Amino acid sequence: MPWKIGNEKLCRVTDGASKRLTSLLTKQGRPQGALRVAVIGGGCSGLQYKMDLVDGPLPRDILVPSKGVNIVIDPKSALFVSGSELDYSDDLQKGGFKVTNPNAVAHCSCGESFSA
Amino acid sequence: MIAGIDLGTTNSLIGVYESGFPTLLADQHGNRITPSVVFYPKNGETLVGREAERQRSLHPDRTISSVKRLIGRRIGEKGTENLLGNKGTAASITIGDRILTPEEISSEILKKLKSIAEDRLGATINRAVITVPAYFNDAQRTSTRRAGELAGFMVERIVSEPTAAALAYGLDRLADQSKVAVYDLGGGTFDLSVLQLDNGVFQVLSTHGDTQLGGDDIDEAIAELVSKKAGISVSSPAATSRLKEAARAAKEILSTADATEVRLPFLEDNRSLEISLTRAEIEQASAPIIRRTRALCMRALQDADLETTDLDQVILVGGSTRMPLVRNFVKEIFGREPNLSQHPDESVALGAILQGAILEGNLQNVALLDVTPLSLGIETFGGLMNVIIPRNTTIPAKAGEMFTNAVTGQQGMRISVLQGERELASDNWMLGSLEIPFPPSPKGAVRVGVQFSIDADGILQVLARDTSTGSEQIIEIKSAVEVSDEAVEAMLAGSLEHAFEDMDARIFTEARLKAEEMLPAVEDALAQLGSDLPEQEVAEILRHAAEVRAALVLKETKRLKLTIAALDESTQILATKLIEKALKA
């Protein structure tokens, strides 16, 4: 296989996020699809997450199965996401997907950027 | 679609190849691992998996596990010691008034897996690849095939487990004649197989194992250690099974942690068990069991007429190989680091899925969607890369961002289109550039929208528009997707090698830009309002500003960020006064 399999130490989803992602992927007609998580420079605290629903892993990716959802991460992003958890809540105020990263020293209030 | 099935002694898994990658399928509770346990009630439906396992303590005589040990066996052969029947006849198990063959019982497990897959996929799955141990003889293989047929599958192929694991590890891409040792320590069995790659197909050169050696024995040794350490011995089946469950949990925790607590309240006769346990202790207890694998490894190598130095790879299979002790032991036996890139519990099933995909011809013509091989973006103030379309985005794709002028009086913006994964613009490749002019304005007043769009043919169009005047510039770049694999590899290697220093450089630059913006603003405000503030406050602000300047000179990222935050904090009152003054004026 051209990609590697990682474990939940790298990145994991909560039950809530798993449910939401599964239903999004099913709605999109690709129940076997995956969530791509990337960390790119920029954003208000230096680094920001980009997330996208994709068909599956690509060469050199790391595939992390978590709670029945496949997460795919490119190797460079993997250096920065390590230990992250993706949560989803229906809360009106702070609803939506949110990532917590134990490596981050500063988070911005939107939960989309952080600095490592 | 062909399903891949790992029909294990303790646990079984099923999956399919879909959308270009192998996926294990989970049941409705999200479990991808189904215990190979079958429960036959007096009346009603047969249960399989966790549901069957739950019945074990209530109905031990109606619950069957490890049926794999009996499949294809005749009375008198190994494993059939406790069974009734005439020597030489096929093994069978009597439950109540039913006589069941191992094939029938196995087929219940396969039926369960089939229904998990069909529920998940919403389609009928009637073709399968099933794995068996390398040492299985013809009778055992034939019986496994028959079990598959009884479950409603057309069994496309019976594959040996080490071969499947090697496929999952991607070892079919090694050079021809490469040799691989597969160390498989499961729940109840151990095998060491030596494989050789011949024209893209794995041949089993030799295999040796012990069908009564596995993680269960380790759990028992740990359970014994726990009860000895606590000074509590248990006799009831319920307490024994709780103790063993706790031992297994401790083993799993101690595969990553150095110490843990075992707590079993009211274990037996109102006595509770509570002790601490270290990795060293469980390693000492399990070492004798693991050491038993050495002779088997040596014998397999001998049979294959190989030395450890002849091996190209050693791979680990089976949940028990998660123990650091096992990994170190394997390293010691073979004199090399084992390959740890795959999930030890899932690699056999993944390999079965891949084998199914190969049979279907799926792996040769995987329709890979075109993606951006590298990130695309523009250079921003300070020489940083600002990614607009990240690497691996499916094309066609469109994305944009708004930019503003960084300097007062600036008369235009030069947009350099970059490709690459590095944080500093100068380390990436420049694909082209365009210039958008605008009338001189104060810093931050101009809004330029930059839009990247790549069409299905990989042609990148970059559009920049000054939102106030509506004037726009467009550039078309044809080579945004066509990058040689070597060039992509080199760019990725560089980005990984320099990841942390690059990120540090980015964060420093961003902080430097902020400092360079703040310092003159603070000076300006002090000149206007300094006399309205207490002397002490002004001195404090000046001290913090000096510290920011010092951090800039030292080029220390962390220090710069901290001093900026401190300066920001100390100028809060000054900022408020500035706003008040502006409002009055």
CATH number at residue B219: 3.90.640.10
**Does A65 sit within 8 Å of B24, measured CB to CB?**
yes
pLDDT given at position B117: 95
Statement: residue B577 has pLDDT above 90 = no
User: Which SS3 state, helix, strand or coil, does residue B408 take?
Assistant: coil
* pLDDT tens digits, B92-143: 888 888 899 999 999 999 999 999 999 988 889 999 999 999 888 888 889 9
B7 lies in the same domain as B115: yes
Preferred mutation among B14, B23, B372, B500 to probe A, highest tally of A CBs within 10 A: B23
Q: CATH no. for residue B454?
A: 2.60.34.10
Question: B354 touching A, CB under 8 A?
Answer: yes
The DSSP secondary-structure symbol of B423 reads S
What pLDDT, on a 0 to 100 scale, did the predictor assign at position A71?
A: 92
Answer yes or no: is pLDDT of B388 > 70: yes
Residue-level pLDDT at B224: 94
CA B41 to each of CA A112, B36, B407: distance values in angstroms, whole numbers, following the listed order = 53, 16, 80
CATH number of domain containing B150? 3.30.420.40
The answer to whether the beta carbons of residues B261 and B276 sit under 8 Å apart is yes
For residues B211-219, give the mean pLDDT. Answer: 89
Average pLDDT, chain B: 88
Q: What is the DSSP letter of B467?
A: T
Q: Which of A11-15, B269-273, B335-339 has the lowest mean pLDDT?
A: B269-273
- A108 close to B (CB below 8 A): no
Cα separation, B130 vs B143, in Å, equals: 12
Share of chain B above pLDDT 90, in %: 49
Residue B363 pLDDT class (50, 70, 90 cuts) = low
State the amino acid at position A46 in one-letter form: G
- Least trusted range by pLDDT, from B243-247, B532-536, B556-560: B532-536
Residue B362 belongs to some domain of the structure: no
Residue A42 confidence (pLDDT): 67
B394/A61 Cβ within 8 A = no
> Quick one: which H or E segment has residue B246?
helix B237-253
Task: Give A15's contacts (C-beta < 8 A, 6+ positions apart).
Answer: A67
Give me the mean pLDDT over the A18-36 stretch: 84
Which is more confident, B432 or B575? B432
Tell whether B189 and B149 lie within a shared domain.
Answer: no
Residues in B touching A114 (Cβ below 8 Å): none
Query: Considering the domain boundaries, does residue B354 fall inside one?
Result: no
For residue B306, the enclosing domain spans 173-212+297-343
Residue of chain B nearest A43, judged by CA positions: B386
The encoded tokens of residue B283 equal 């390693």
Lowest mean pLDDT among B68-77, B242-251, B461-470: B68-77
- What is the average pLDDT value for chain A, to the nearest integer? 78
Furthest C-alpha separation in chain B: 108
Q: pLDDT value at position B235?
A: 84
Closest by Cβ to B19, choosing from A2, A33, A80? A33
In-domain check, residue B348: no
Residue B582, pLDDT > 80, answer no
Task: Quote the pLDDT of residue B293.
Answer: 94
A31 preceded by cis ω (within 30°)?
no
Least Cα distance to B32 among B123, B124, B116, B133 occurs for B116
Predicted confidence (pLDDT) per residue in B74-106, tens digit:
877 776 767 767 777 788 888 888 899 999 999
Report DSSP state, residue B402.
E
User: Could you list the residue range(s) of the whole structural domain that residue A75 is in?
Assistant: 4-115
Q: Which pLDDT value is given to residue B183?
A: 96
CA A110 to centroid of chain Cα atoms = 16
> What pLDDT does residue B219 have?
92
Joined tokens for residue B37: 């346990």
Cβ–Cβ under 8 Å, residues B106 and B73: no
Mark yes or no for CB contact A76/B506 under 8 Å: no
Structure tokens at B290: 């693991």
Higher pLDDT, B484 or B497: B497
Structure confidence at residue B548 (pLDDT): 93
Domain co-membership, B201 together with B312: yes
Establish if A27 touches chain B: CB-CB under 8 angstroms: no
A32·B384 Cβ contact <8 A: no
Given this model, what pLDDT does residue B534 score? 84
Q: Are residues B310 and B188 in the same domain?
A: yes
pLDDT at A46: 64
Whether B74 and B200 map to the same domain: the answer is no
ipTM surpasses 0.85: no
Q: What's the half-sphere exposure (Cβ side, CA atoms, 13 Å) at B255? A: 14
Q: How far apart are CA B382 and CA B387, in angstroms?
A: 15
Q: What is the Rg, in whole angstroms, of the alpha carbon atoms belonging to chain A?
A: 14
Digit-coded pLDDT (tens) for A38-66 = 888 765 556 778 888 888 888 788 899 99
Is residue B154 within 8 Å of B183, Cβ to Cβ?
no
B471 and B505 together in one domain: no
* B299-308: pLDDT as tens digits: 999 988 999 9
Q: CB of B73 within 8 A of CB of B80?
A: yes
Q: Total structural domains in chain A?
A: 1
Cα(A35)–Cα(A53) distance, rounded to whole angstroms?
A: 5
Q: How many CB pairs under 8 A join A and B?
A: 86
Tally of residues, chain B: 585
| Exposed e or buried b per residue across B331-360, where buried means at least 16 C-beta atoms within 10 angstroms of its C-beta | eebbebebeebbbbbbbbbbbbbbbbbbee
Higher pLDDT among residues B478 and B324, named by residue: B324
Is residue B354 scored above 50 in pLDDT? yes
**CATH number of the domain that residue A78 is part of:** 2.60.300.12
Distance of CA B250 to the CA centre of its chain: 23
Contact call for residues A97 and A86 (beta carbons, < 8 A): yes
Q: pLDDT: is B201 or B546 the higher one?
A: B546
* B421 and B492 both lie in a single domain: yes
Residue B321, pLDDT score = 94
- What is the arithmetic mean of pLDDT over B505-525? 89
DSSP of B323-378, one letter per residue? Answer: SHHHHHHHHHHHTSPPB--S-TTTHHHHHHHHHHHHHHTTTTT--PPPB-SS-EEE
Model confidence at B366, in pLDDT bands (50, 70, 90)? very low
Query: How near does any CA of chain B get to the CA of A97, in Å?
Result: 20
DSSP-derived 3-state class of residue B103: helix
Question: Tokens 């993944």 appear where?
Answer: B350
pLDDT of residue B455: 82
Asked whether B290 and B326 are in contact (CB, 8 A), the reply is yes
Known catalytic residues of B are: 6, 68, 161, 184
The alpha carbon of residue B432 and the mean position of all alpha carbons in its chain are separated, in whole angstroms, by 38
Mean of pLDDT values over B262-266: 89
Q: Is there a single domain that holds both residue B307 and residue B443?
A: no
pLDDT at residue B311 greater than cutoff 90: yes
Here the contacts of B516-525 (C-beta below 8 Å, separation 24 or greater) are: B518/B548, B518/B564, B518/B567, B518/B568, B519/B545, B519/B548, B519/B549, B522/B567, B522/B571, B522/B574, B525/B571, B525/B574, B525/B575, B525/B578
pLDDT at B365 over 60: no
What's the confidence (pLDDT) of residue B489? 84
Other C-beta atoms lying within 10 Å of the C-beta of residue B148: 25
Chain A hits for B120, CB-CB cut-off 8 Å, are: 31
- The C-alpha torsion from B477 through B483 and B487 to B493, rounded to 10°, is 90
Domains in chain B, number? 5
**For residue B532, what are the contacts with CB-CB under 8 A and spacing of at least 6?**
B577
Q: Which residue has the higher pLDDT, B326 or A108?
A: B326
DSSP B312: S
Choice between B81 and B334, residue whose per-residue pLDDT is larger: B334
**Nearest CA-CA partner of B444 in B347, B361, B521:** B521
Alpha-carbon distance of B428 to B438, in angstroms, equals: 27
What is the DSSP-derived secondary structure letter of residue A94? T
Residues B463 and B434 in one domain: yes
Position B385 in a domain:
yes
**Angle (deg, nearest 10), helices B279-303 and B215-230:** 150
Amino acid symbol at B554: L
Same domain membership, residue B258 and residue B109: no
Structure-model confidence comparison of residues B84 and B423, the more confident one? B423
Q: What are phi and psi of B433, to 5 degrees?
A: -150, 160
The answer to whether B371 contacts chain A (CB < 8 Å) is: yes
Q: Residue B237: CA atoms inside 13 Å, Cβ hemisphere, count?
A: 5
Which of the listed residues B453, B476, B497 is the one where a domain comes to its end?
B497
Pick from B326, B344, B299, B300: which is nearest to B181 by CA?
B300
Look at residues B584, B583, B585, B551 and name the one whose alpha carbon lies nearest to residue B567: B551
- Count how many residues are written for chain A: 116
**pLDDT bracket for residue B369 (50, 70, 90):** very low
Q: Is B367 contained in some domain?
A: no
Residue B480 sits in the same domain as residue B548 = no
* CATH number of the domain residue B553 falls in: 1.20.1270.10
Quickly count: other Cβ atoms within 10 Å of residue B237's Cβ. 11
Q: Is residue B144 part of a domain?
A: yes
Any chain A CB within 8 A of the CB of B391? yes
pLDDT of residue A109: 45
The b-or-e profile of B87-126 (16+ CB within 10 A means b, else e) is: eeebbbbebeeeebbbbbbbbbbbbbbbbbbeebbeeebe
Segment B436-449 shows an average pLDDT of 88
Q: Could you say which of A3, A54, A75 has the minimum Cβ distance to residue B496?
A: A75
Q: pTM score > 0.90 for this model? A: no
Whether the per-residue pLDDT at B294 is higher than 60: the answer is yes
